[in-house]
Every structure is written in structure tokens, then in C-alpha cells.
Amino acid sequence: MLKLERRATPSSIMSVASPLLAAVGMLVTGFVLFKVLGKDPVEAFYLFFVKPVSTTYGIGELLLKTTPLLLCGLGLALGFRANVWNIGAEGQLTMGAIAGGGVALWFGDSESAFAMPLMLLAGVLGGMAWAAIPAFLRTRFNTNEILVTLMLVYISQLVLSWLVHGPWRDPQGLNYPQSQGFGDAETMSILISGTRVTWGIVYALGLALVAWIFSQKTFAGFRMQVAGLAPAAAAYAGFSEKRNIWIALMICGATAGLAGVCEVAGPIGRLQQQISPGYGFAAIIVAWIGRLHPIGVVFGALLMSLLYLGGEAAQMGMGLPSAITGLFQGLLLFYLLAADLFITFRLKRVAPVEANTLKPPVQAETAA
């Protein structure tokens, strides 16, 4: 008989091994799935995981998709560590894109050197403003931030939709719901020629480093971690809960907003109805796979990006439905959460105890 038993101390080996086990679990299930669908698993895996990154262009695409995942993942990870459950990075990303895009449209074809810095700033501020709503509601009215951030995702998408259908629609755009294309000064320069990857990835990696320093070396980072691990201890020590919530949501709003503006000023080049295939949601998985650690999040974002690319390749190369991307994402998170159980628990074999199988006791006679 097997029994789950709490470990005396959390296993540090398991906390590293868990994401790897999750990846293996995902691959094995994928293997079975391809088999059942009548596809050759080896070919499918090649198409899914190897072919997309076999060219320079492919690696560029990998880094391109890593950028928003990494940016959102970093912000979310810091928040999750502090028990702030912001699941609306997608909405903050959208608002960042709207704000940054708005600035780009205002500059038009001006070629101003201020255009790009102002766009990035606007993107960051846009994301922060959107994240300020749940922060205010939570600190003022104790509203659940999970619900508020999620609902604000749909509102932000409808705002974007209204803008590109209405006031910001390109007059020469054949009635497509999209804005004018951004000028050269409003488009981010390419980092590696022959690819579409922009300077955004450099910003993202730089921020990963900053986030690492913040969480490991600063008192503010420590306070947020205490708030996440033991809220009562944070209250006892006098760490303000409200300040933690604000910091967590502002950081995530900023990074997600930056991700949004990097998308529209990079590969997309304009505002349109859909600007993200769910990067903000996928970043939740990225944050967990990365163990809520900034450096781990970098690897998590690369893996998730590969799943996006592989999913696209599998759609085109093997005629699989687009749900394949979400399926692999889901498998990964599912196995990760399952494997995480063994960080604090372990399986133990227990022998069933039966009264009649035990040796008869020595006759106990107590002092009378």
C-alpha cells in the first residue's frame, strides 16, 4: 500500500526536477496522442520541436515570441511570489499596445527621435494604468484581483476593437479593422538581420536580470516574498499589505505593457484587432515553469515560445488543428502541478497493520 506523506523539509532536488519531469510527461502524452491520431510520432516531434529552430530565421522567431512571454512572465512571477494573483497580463499587454500605438499614430510620419522612447514609455504607463484598477479595488474594497484582472482582459480587447473599427481605423485600409502602419521611427529596429527579432528581447533579458536583483537583493523584494509565504508574518513585521499589492501589480502592468508595445512596434507594425495569441495567459504557465524565479522564467519563456512555433508548424505540416498549441501548454502545466506535489510530499510504502499479525506482547504487569 502506498501513502502520501509530508516531507520534513521541502525537497530541493524535486523543485528543480519537477519542470523536467513535467516536460517528459508532456512528451510521453504527446507521443501517445500522435500515435492515436495515426501520425508518425517521431516525425511529429521533429516537426514540432526541432524543425522550427533549425534555421537562423527560426531562431529569430523563437526569440521574437519569447519576448512578450518573458516580459509578462517576469511581472507575473514577482506578483505570484507575493500572493497577488494577477491573471490579466493579457489585458495589461493590450492596454500597453493601445497606449504605445496611440503615441505612434500621433507621431505619424514625423521621423522624430523621441517617437520610440515615448512609445515605450506610453506602453509601460498604459499597462500600469490598467493594472492600477485591480490594485485600487483590491486595496480599497478588498475585491478579488483574480476576477477583476481577468474581466479587464475582455474590456481591453473590446476597447482595442472599438478603436480599430472606429476612430483609429486606417482611411486607406480597405475597411479592414486596423490602424495605419507605423512609420520607420515608430518601428523597433531589427537585432539580427534576416530575422524579425527586435531589440525587445534585449530589454526583456535585461529586465530578467533586474527582476533577479530586485527579488534577491532588495528589502522590497523580501517584503513581497514574506507577504506571499506568510501573510500574518508580514502583518506582524509591519510590512504594508497594500504597498505589496500595488508594487506587484505595477511591476506586472509595466512589463506586460512593454510587451504589448514591443509587439505592435515590432513584428505587427500597426494596431489591429488581434495583437496577441494569448501571450499574457501563457505567461502564467511560464511563471510557474520558471519556479517564479526570474532566471527560471527565461527558460520557461523559451520553452513556451517553442510550443507556439511547433504548434504552428504542426498545423501547417501535418494538418493538425490549432488547438494543438493549447493542448501542449495545458499538458505541461498539468504535469508540472502534479510533479510539484512531490516537492513537499513523498510516496511511502506502508505495511498494513493487523492486530492478529503482531507478535503477542510480553505480559505487562504494572506496579500495583
For residue 105, what is its C-alpha cell? Answer: 499614430
Cβ closest to another protein, residue 7 vs residue 35:
7
Please state, in angstroms and rounded to a whole number, the distance separating the CA atoms of residues 296 and 76.
Answer: 13
CB of 218 to another protein, least distance (A): 5
Asked if 218 interacts with another protein (CB under 8 A), we say: yes
Name which position in 21, 137, 151, 220 contacts another protein (CB under 8 A): 220
Cβ closest to another protein, residue 86 vs residue 215:
215
Please tell me the total number of residues recorded for the chain in this structure. Answer: 368
Cβ closest to another protein, residue 83 vs residue 305:
83
> Per CB under 8 A, which region of 24-32, 91-99, 306-314, 347-355 contacts another protein?
347-355
Please state, in angstroms and rounded to a whole number, the distance separating the CA atoms of residues 52 and 278.
Answer: 20
Residue 79: Cβ within 10 Å count: 30
Asked if 233 interacts with another protein (CB under 8 A), we say: yes
Asked if 240 interacts with another protein (CB under 8 A), we say: yes
Asked if 222 interacts with another protein (CB under 8 A), we say: yes
Asked if 237 interacts with another protein (CB under 8 A), we say: yes
CB of 66 to another protein, least distance (A): 30
Name which position in 42, 54, 117, 217 contacts another protein (CB under 8 A): 217
For residue 118, what is its C-alpha cell? Answer: 515615448
Asked if 142 interacts with another protein (CB under 8 A), we say: no
**DSSP H stretches of helix in 37-144:** 41-45, 56-81, 89-107, 115-141
CB of 299 to another protein, least distance (A): 23
209-218 long-range contacts, Cβ below 8 Å, gap at least 24? 209/294, 211/74, 211/77, 211/78, 211/294, 211/297, 212/293, 212/294, 212/295, 214/78, 215/78, 215/81, 215/293, 215/294
Q: Buried b / exposed e across 29-51, counting CB within 10 Å, b at 16+?
A: bbeebbeeeebebeebbebbbeb
CB of 292 to another protein, least distance (A): 13
Asked if 12 interacts with another protein (CB under 8 A), we say: no
Name which position in 48, 239, 308, 335 contacts another protein (CB under 8 A): 239
Using alpha carbons, select from 209, 217, 254 the residue that is nearest to residue 79. 254
Residues that bind another protein (CB under 8 A): 5-10, 217-220, 222, 226, 229-230, 232-233, 235-240, 353-356, 358, 360-362, 364, 366-368
